[in-house]
Homo-oligomer: A and B are copies of this chain.
Amino acid sequence: MIRFECDYAEGAHERIIKRLVETNLEQTPGYGKDEYCEKARKVILDLCKNESAEVHFLVGGTQTNATVISATLRPHQGVISADTGHINGHESGAIEATGHKVLAIDNVDGKISAEQVERVYQQHWNDSAHEHLVQPGMVYISHPTETGMLYSKQELEALSKVCRKYSLPLFLDGARLGYALASEKSDVTLSDLANLCDVFYIGGTKVGALFGEAVVITHPMIKKDFRYFIKQKGGMLAKGRLLGIQFETLFEDGLYLSIAKHAVDLALEIKKAFQEKGCTFLYDSNTNQQFPILNNNIIVKLSAKYSFQEWEKIDNHYTAVRFCTSWATKEEDVKMLTQDIINL
């Protein structure tokens, strides 16, 4: 079985493994206070072109989302999110467990717009009984979205502008950020994100690391005491150097982008094969996730050899599925798959 079902099926990029082996018996202080974390922070800040931002390393995405949101909101506030947002549906209530409502709004391609945020804000404050409602307190977006789609720089600028106008911190979930940055259709850089967001994170788990998410904070209030939050929410790794070593390796000379590009290129080959076969797609993705709509017979046929996810039933005959590539996807596997698609 060749797995295209997710982007976390393998371990880590060989250069990360090599560094972990080399440094294994070194003695370092715990909890992210070692020199590897220090170096990784510096490398990331350089790429962000932002000296005053803070970088923290956490273990996983759910944890990171809950920690950031908990550090940002007061108890009567909620977080605006696309209804398809990961925090709204796939984290077992981790956000609500910290006391906050997810204020879910309609999405287009998994995205929300500055106009929607403006509307939610106005609607809240124009309600004479607004004290009986959950106050919008921040905005959550993912880039790429759950469905592999990208915000343009212009869209992010508009969101950032409305968020700053209304003091709603903008939080970008970058669990798959590499696959956005590496897409040719993207005009957004790390430095743009550091400018436009109040807090965002760079996903390691799905882009070459064993695990790990690097949170970049520019908003002073969120920075304040953030390490307490990491500890309280269970995200402070005792051997924090494991995170430092991985992110240093990923960012010191462009590895992160190059392995992400590898994944995106292979995803586009899969896309092309399905296109040539006349398939339509649920989303017109240019990142590492592809969502062709397939006849159920085809799905059965492909499932004999490949694992991939059934995403959404279209009708009695057709289903949208997800093929996912990653930094670790092998070219020969994709070649075999595309050949099999063409021969269908």
A residues neighboring B (CB under 8 Å)? 2-3, 5-6, 8-12, 14, 17, 20-21, 23-31, 59-64, 66-67, 70-71, 74-78, 89-94, 96-102, 129, 131-135, 205-206, 210-211, 225, 227-229, 231-239, 241-242, 328
Contact = CB atoms under 8 A, between A and B. Distances in A.
Q: Give the copy number.
A: 4
Contacts of A91: 132, 231-232
Contacts of A63: 234-235
B62 A236 contact: yes
A227 B90 CA distance: 13
A45 to B, nearest CB: 21
A242 B10 contact: no
Contact of A231 (B21, B23, B94, B237): B94
A211 B234 contact: no
Contacts of A225: 74, 76, 131, 135
Nearest to A175: B238
Which 7 A-B residue pairs are closest in the complex by CB-CB distance? A63-B234, A11-B24, A76-B228, A92-B232, A9-B27, A92-B231, A93-B134
Nearest to A94: B232
